[in-house]
Amino acid sequence: MLLHEFDPAETAIFNPSMVFQPVEGMPKVAVSCFSFVTFDRMLALFPDAEVIATMKCASQRFPVYKVRYRDVDVALYMSSVGAPSCVGQQEELYALGADCLVLFGTCGVLDRTIGDCAIILPTAAMRDEGTSYHYAPPADEIEANVHHAQLFRDLLEELHVSCVNGKAWTTDSMYRETREKTARRKEAGCICVDMECASVAAVARFRGKEALHFFYAADNLDAEEWDERSLSNNANLDEKDRIAAIALEAARRITIQKATV
């Protein structure tokens, strides 16, 4: 099988370092999300935000901002949806000089008892996509959030915010989450479905970097009919602002932790 042809070589014919160089003053920790509405609202908190780099693809530009959050510098940028483009940016972020990515976004829930916008911290991801197989040897699953899970849980406990921990199902094809396949993923222990988690974890591990990746629950697949809930970018904005604030504070605490090591 093609996806079993993992090559552990760290350099390829085309590498991120060929197009991105370390930026002077680049924050060690970056925060990113997938919703342009949530990102714009988060960026608006920082009127003095400075563009320090730009990630590009054929169809869009993604500025990287440097902001001062409380007492630390943090980088902000918006992630592209889907594993290949998302982790391409992750690679570029590391090449720019960051060590850790704090990434948050929606997921579909496979357990109807998980409430709308509930925070989910994936402990592992089923690799039902292709990108992670270029960064890690073949396996059905990969461990997620190996570096800062406890820091994140401690933060949520301090804020009196509940968190659901469990396995994610990462898939490339949101329109092919069939009932039979969804049932099999639930039997394997998955509580939610997303499109990037397995790949983000694989890239961080392969590059010797860090990623704190968490979700806020959106559409419900554990129902007779698909339930959109707060999947829309413009739904439940106050709650999503609160989640963005949690991501910023997590980035701050990781930055402080790095400075003391």
Q: Which domains does the chain have, with CATH numbers?
A: 19-260 (3.40.50.1580)
Q: Indicate the pLDDT class of residue 59, thresholds 50, 70 and 90.
A: confident
Whole-angstrom Cα distance, residue 18 to residue 223? Answer: 48
pLDDT for 132-181, tens place per residue? 999 999 999 999 999 999 999 999 999 999 999 999 999 999 999 999 99
Give the lowest-confidence range in 2-6, 48-52, 76-80.
2-6
92 versus 1: the higher-pLDDT residue is: 92
pLDDT for 124-133, tens place per residue? 999 999 999 9
Whole-angstrom Cα distance, residue 242 to residue 245? Answer: 5
pLDDT at 195: 98
Provide the sign of the torsion angle of the four alpha carbons 44, 45, 48, 53, taken in this order: negative
252: Cβ–Cβ under 8 A, 6 or more apart, which residues? 69, 70, 71, 72, 74
pLDDT for 16-25, tens place per residue? 999 999 999 9
Whole-angstrom Cα distance, residue 130 to residue 140? Answer: 11
pLDDT at 226: 95
138, two tokens: 């073949």
Instruction: Tell me the whole-structure pTM to 2 decimals.
Output: 0.96
pLDDT for 197-254, tens place per residue? 999 999 999 999 999 999 999 999 999 999 999 999 999 999 999 999 999 999 999 9
DSSP one-letter code for 133: G
